[in-house]
């Protein structure tokens, strides 16, 4: 589980400047502006002042500099949207979390952390209890373990707190499941995206996916970058872990039944190698990023990553969409995209619940 695995290094791309970027071919009509920052310090050659006054001026200047640094600590606004459909299932087993301002829920954060946002999708199987439990508790377990140090300290500890939060959520759910008679046997996949300033940390279990829509200058088009790893029992490393634990994989499933090799819940399969330890990745936001798409396999059974990006972009680029009431044109476009994509997956006979979360990325 490499924290930086399978993702391009952000520094390999040209570092964007603070000026508004030019509109790219087929680009979206997101509102973008650059902030005017910094103030000129008074010249020391001006009329002399006493030491007390000079100290006050320097203190005020330092305060302004701190404010300006804070303003620069994140450069992209994030806003989440969601649509879900029950589809052909008897009940809705998906759950989700949208928290554009997770920072207000995390007390005593260091001043170097000026934005926290959290988005998650949980795809339940065998019942609704595991996905609902995870959606209610996993972000709280992250909050309770969030480091008190500065951004550098957080970056050092982020993998640990993700693993501990996932393990705590799984342990607490399995205890709750065991207290019931008959015991609960359902489980859930999970994709959690935590934005810390302008860095995304993505943790996942199972076969739900997170995809970043990024403009590739070399190809002159927007492409979908996968930010997650599918955990299928058919994957060699996953199958080996299951077999070492005494389990087996038949017809691509654990013991011939369970379709994923990592999950929260699924008590009967934990002793057969199914784990709750997530894969964790990091991705730095850039000026070329337009949105995140996080969805359960109900979407990916019907649409490839490329198909879903093309479908979404066609709607987001529609110049005829306008603001309605309190909703901006961008709000209308993203809500419509989520809804139409979820509907389209059902119409393609996905046969599963479908949840689509999109997170708009706009330069401040």
DSSP 223: E
For residue 307, the surrounding DSSP H or E stretch is helix 305-316
DSSP string across 267-306: HHHHTTT-B-PPEEEEEE--TTEEEEEEE-HHHHTT--HH
Phi and psi at 363, nearest 5°, equal -65, 135
Distance CA 333, CA 28 (A): 10
Evaluate whether 332 touches 290 at the Cβ level (below 8 Å).
no
**pLDDT average, residue stretch 42-59:** 46
Q: Which residues pair with 264 in a beta bridge?
A: 188
User: Which position has the higher pLDDT, 230 or 73?
Assistant: 230
For residue 175, the surrounding DSSP H or E stretch is helix 151-179
SS3 339: helix
Angle between helices 329-347 and 305-316 (to 10 degrees): 140
pTM of the model: 0.82
Percentage, residues of the chain above pLDDT 70? 80
Judged against a pLDDT cut of 50, whether residue 15 lies above it is answered with no
pLDDT of 28 reads 59
Tell me: the pLDDT tens digits for 197-221? 999 999 999 999 999 999 999 999 9
**pLDDT average, residue stretch 35-49:** 39
Nearest to 225 by CA among 287, 139, 291, 269: 291
Judged against a pLDDT cut of 80, whether residue 72 lies above it is answered with no
Query: For residues 170, 174, 177 and 181, what is the CA-based torsion angle, rounded to 10 degrees?
Result: 170
**pLDDT average, residue stretch 7-36:** 43
pLDDT of 175 reads 97
Task: Characterise 211 by phi-psi region: left (phi > 0), alpha (psi -120 to 50), beta (else).
Answer: beta
Q: Count of residues for the chain?
A: 364
The arrangement of strands across the sheet holding 354-363 comes to: 76-85, 354-363, 289-295, 209-216, 221-226
Distance CA 312, CA 322 (A): 17
Tell me: the pLDDT tens digits for 255-310? 999 999 999 999 999 999 999 999 999 999 999 999 999 999 999 999 999 999 99
Tell me: the pLDDT tens digits for 178-203? 999 899 999 999 999 999 999 999 99
Mean pLDDT of all residues in the chain? 85
Give me 140's structure tokens: 């709280």
Number of H helices, E strands in the chain: 8, 14
Angle between helices 129-145 and 151-179 (to 10 degrees): 140
Distance CA 264, CA 133 (A): 10
**pLDDT average, residue stretch 18-24:** 40
pLDDT of 35 reads 37
pLDDT of 63 reads 37
CA 168 vs CA 116, 120, 145, 211, 359: distances in Å: 21, 17, 11, 26, 27
Phi and psi at 348, nearest 5°, equal -85, 15
pLDDT of 244 reads 96
Percentage, residues of the chain above pLDDT 90? 73
Query: Which of 164-168, 217-221, 315-319 tops mean pLDDT?
Result: 164-168
Distance CA 78, CA 99 (A): 10
Judged against a pLDDT cut of 60, whether residue 31 lies above it is answered with no
Nearest to 201 by CA among 142, 130, 264, 270: 142
pLDDT of 320 reads 87
Evaluate whether 138 touches 165 at the Cβ level (below 8 Å).
yes
Q: How crowded is residue 64: how many other Cβ atoms within 10 Å of its Cβ? A: 14
Q: Domains in the chain, please, with CATH?
A: 68-363 (3.60.40.10)
Given pLDDT bands bounded at 50, 70 and 90, which one contains residue 37? very low
């Amino acid at each position: 589980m490499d924290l930086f695995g399978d993702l391009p290094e952000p520094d390999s791309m040209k570092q964007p400047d603070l000026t508004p970027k030019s509109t790219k071919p087929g680009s979206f009509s997101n509102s973008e502006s650059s902030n005017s920052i910094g103030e000129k310090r008074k010249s020391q050659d001006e009329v002399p002042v006493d030491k007390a006054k000079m100290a006050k001026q320097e203190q005020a200047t330092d305060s302004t500099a701190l404010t300006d640094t804070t303003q620069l600590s994140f450069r992209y606004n994030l806003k989440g949207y969601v649509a879900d459909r029950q589809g052909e299932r008897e009940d809705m087993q998906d759950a989700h979390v949208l928290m554009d301002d997770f920072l207000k829920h995390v007390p005593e954060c260091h001043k170097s952390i000026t934005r926290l946002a959290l988005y998650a999708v949980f795809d339940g199987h065998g019942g609704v209890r595991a996905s609902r439990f995870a959606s209610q508790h996993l972000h709280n377990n992250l909050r309770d373990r969030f480091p008190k140090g500065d951004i550098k300290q957080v970056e050092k500890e982020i993998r640990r707190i993700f693993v501990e939060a996932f393990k705590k959520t799984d342990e607490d759910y399995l205890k709750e499941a065991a207290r019931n008679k008959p015991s609960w046997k359902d489980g859930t996949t999970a994709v959690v995206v935590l934005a810390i300033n302008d860095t995304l940390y993505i943790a996942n279990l199972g076969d739900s996916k997170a995809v970043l829509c990024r403009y590739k200058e070399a190809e002159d088009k927007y492409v979908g970058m996968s930010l997650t790893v599918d955990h299928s029992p058919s994957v060699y490393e996953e199958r080996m872990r299951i077999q070492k634990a005494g389990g087996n994989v038949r017809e691509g499933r654990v013991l011939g039944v369970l379709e994923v090799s990592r999950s929260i819940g699924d008590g009967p399969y934990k002793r057969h190698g199914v784990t709750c330890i997530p894969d964790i990745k990091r991705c730095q936001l850039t000026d070329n990023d337009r949105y995140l798409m996080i969805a359960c396999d109900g979407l990916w059974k019907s649409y490839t990553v490329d198909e879903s990006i093309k479908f979404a972009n066609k709607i987001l680029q529609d110049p005829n969409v306008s603001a309605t009431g309190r909703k901006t044109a961008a709000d209308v476009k993203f809500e419509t995209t989520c809804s139409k994509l979820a509907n389209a997956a059902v119409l393609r006979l996905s046969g599963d619940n479908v949840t689509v979360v999109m997170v708009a990325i706009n330069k401040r």
